[in-house]
Structure 1
Amino acid sequence: MRFSALLGCLASVVLASQSVYASPVWKVSDGNETVYLGGTIHVLAEDDYPLPAAFQRAYAEAETVFFETDIDAQSKPEFAQQLVALTTYPQGQGIDSRLSPVVLQSLYDYLQSRGASLEALKRFRPGMLAMVMTNIELEFQGMSGEGVDQFYTDIAMRDQKPRGQLETPEEQIRFIAAMGNGNENDFIEYALKDMYQMREDMLAIKRAWRVGDRQGLQDVALIPFREGSPDVFDTLIVERNNNWLPQIEQMFSSAEDELVLVGVLHLVGREGLLQQLEKKGYSVEQMH
């Protein structure tokens, strides 16, 4: 906390200390060309702003900004229609018939405690239901707000800076639709455990994210995810990283610099983009 009586004598110390803070942005180069990789969190609270300054420096250096997908397209009615079509069970079916009595009761109790209705949500397939529950919990905890991706989508649109995407919105829908199918009971049971500890987990993740603590992010989020739900981890992290890596490498053949913004858990760990690029001989430097 800063106190007004101390601002005068501490200003120079504060400014100097800010310059040495690490960040969740990395400069990757092959000796000639540069690609900036920024680790994002898709949902942030108001007090998470301003973002680490390295984001803006990388954005200013880059001629093109790449996101996981076309965020603007996700607000269009066609996207919503396709999402609902692929992530809901046929009429007359629901997830309630695919859960054990114990898990079903736990789900009912959780939703009721958050002012939501199982009846209204039961037609969602497990992946979509887990996403809806996450949004409900973040809203309940007062942690639901614009994330890094939306923030820089808006800025790039304002600046008319070219934007790219690593996967289509349709591909993202397919990932969501596939999660937990055939394993609904274990998937929802795992998701419910996440909901009740989400506030603590999110705070720990954001602390590690803000300073680009690669090991910290593994310890608080990546390793528990990998061990707790390996099939979903492979679908959401490993498969997508492997799809994105060749696209990122292709960027080094361009004379322009690019900024690639992806969820921070895609960057860290043995499956992460940073370690894979390091193994391929690229120079990876954390920005401050």
Structure 2
Amino acid sequence: MPKSFKSVFKALMLAGVALLPVAAQAESAKTGAPLMWVVKDADSTVYLLGSIHLLKPDMQWQDDRIKTAMTQSSELWLEIANLDDQAAAGSAFLKHAINAKGNLTEGMSEADIAKLNAALDRHGLPMAQARNLKPWAVGLLITVKSMMASGFDPNSGVDKTLLDQAKAAGKPVKGFETIEQQMGFFGNFDEETSRQFLIDVLNQEEEGKALMDSMLTAWQTGDEAALGKLFNDEMKVKTPKLYDVLLKGRNQDWVPQIEQILAGSGTSLIVVGTAHLVGPDGVPTLLKAKGVKVDAVK
């Protein structure tokens, strides 16, 4: 698989938008121990849970640690609080994805255009609409359609499942960002990166699924080293600008907000994409650098 596809696809995945899939052909009955940390001071407890945003409905992942954290917490923090607001998500997506030039296929070879037309037909996406979107957005839609056709459901993802539980229990749900901010990260991709992402999606669909499988397996088993390599090492070296925008910068923005949570009292559960919690620029590492004690929850 081309390096550009691996790095850009992982980068896109990290933002955790409701539309974005992060798993593929894994064994849906498999269980494991997703990575989890806890931060405590005199009167506060904050749990940090690494999320997968889209899963198969029958996948089992809520172990006793997660259930306890959810029960004890008086509030739930997500990347975005209203991730179930499809109207807001659709509006933000279109704002950043629209290509007024209508030149979707500009710079693409005849062979790639043929693959694009075939993919659009296969997934029920009319070219009349697709041509008015930026290439990265079309690639994203094709990927989403492919994943959902494989049985993955955003309503079964970690974030959405815990969001529903929090609402049912009457617990407030808060967000570190807005859906507008998240889609803005994608909308800022330059034309070359955007076009190459679409081309690589068209050329490497099956290998992309295998990559997602590897990510899901590492998440299920709590393999921090493997997750760090998958999410951080390659992207940091191969696409440093994307790494800085989609990972490092966002993590740095979240840490002061977490410090504010700790400045209060009570118990909170924070659920964000797993990529934000591993590696040298992960939230736990940044908190430790500020003198905060962070412990893994086994």
Same fold (TM over 0.5): yes
Equivalent residues in 2 for 1:1-288, closer than 5 Å: 22-30=33-41, 33-72=44-83, 74-76=85-87, 78-90=88-100, 93-101=102-110, 103-112=112-121, 114=123, 116-145=125-154, 146-192=156-202, 195-288=205-298
User: Separation in 1 of the partners of 2:240 and 2:204?
Assistant: 15
Quickly say closer, same or farther: Cα 1:197–1:115, change in 2 above 3 A. Answer: farther
Q: Which string of whole-angstrom CA distances, capped at 9 and with x for unpartnered residues, describes residues 194-242 of structure 1? A: 6332332222212211232211112334333434443333322222112
Q: CA shift at 1:121, angstroms?
A: 1.9
Gaps in structure 2 of 5+ consecutive residues: 1-30
Q: CA shift at 1:134, angstroms?
A: 2.3
Quickly say closer, same or farther: Cα 1:135–1:79, change in 2 above 3 A. Answer: closer
Residue identity in the other structure for 2:248: V
User: Separation in 2 of the partners of 1:108 and 1:56?
Assistant: 46
Quickly say closer, same or farther: Cα 1:214–1:50, change in 2 above 3 A. Answer: closer
User: Separation in 2 of the partners of 1:256 and 1:141?
Assistant: 41
Larger Rg: 1
Residue identity in the other structure for 1:164: K
Verify the 8 A CA contact 1:74 1:169 in the aligned structure 2: no
Query: Greater CA deviation, 46-55 or 249-258?
Result: 46-55
Q: CA shift at 1:113, angstroms?
A: 5.2
Q: CA shift at 1:180, angstroms?
A: 4.1
Query: Greater CA deviation, 162-171 or 127-136?
Result: 127-136
Given the two structures, how large is their TM-score scaled by the length of structure 2?
Answer: 0.78
Verify the 8 A CA contact 2:218 2:226 in the aligned structure 1: yes
Q: Which residue of 2 is the match for residue 7 of structure 1?
A: none
User: Separation in 1 of the partners of 2:44 and 2:196?
Assistant: 45
Verify the 8 A CA contact 2:83 2:179 in the aligned structure 1: no
Q: Which string of whole-angstrom CA distances, capped at 9 and with x for unpartnered residues, describes residues 122-169 of structure 1? A: 322234223212211212332334201111111111111011100112
Residue identity in the other structure for 1:47: D
Q: CA shift at 1:37, angstroms?
A: 0.6
User: Separation in 2 of the partners of 1:101 and 1:272?
Assistant: 42
User: Separation in 2 of the partners of 1:65 and 1:258?
Assistant: 6
> Per the alignment, in what secondary structure is the counterpart of residue 212 of structure 1?
coil
Verify the 8 A CA contact 2:277 2:284 in the aligned structure 1: yes
User: Separation in 2 of the partners of 1:271 and 1:281?
Assistant: 15
Q: CA shift at 1:105, angstroms?
A: 4.2
> Per the alignment, in what secondary structure is the counterpart of residue 46 of structure 2?
strand
Residue identity in the other structure for 1:184: S
Given the two structures, how large is their TM-score scaled by the length of structure 1?
Answer: 0.81
Q: Which residue of 2 is the match for residue 9 of structure 1?
A: none
Verify the 8 A CA contact 1:95 1:184 in the aligned structure 2: no
Verify the 8 A CA contact 2:102 2:133 in the aligned structure 1: no
Quickly say closer, same or farther: Cα 1:101–1:243, change in 2 above 3 A. Answer: farther
Q: CA shift at 1:53, angstroms?
A: 3.0
User: Separation in 2 of the partners of 1:116 and 1:268?
Assistant: 36
Residue identity in the other structure for 2:240: P
User: Separation in 1 of the partners of 2:271 and 2:237?
Assistant: 26
Q: CA shift at 1:266, angstroms?
A: 0.9
> Per the alignment, in what secondary structure is the counterpart of residue 263 of structure 2?
coil
Identity over aligned pairs, percent: 24
Q: Which residue of 1 is the match for residue 23 of structure 2?
A: none
User: Separation in 1 of the partners of 2:196 and 2:264?
Assistant: 45
Aligned residues: 267
Gaps in structure 1 of 5+ consecutive residues: 1-17
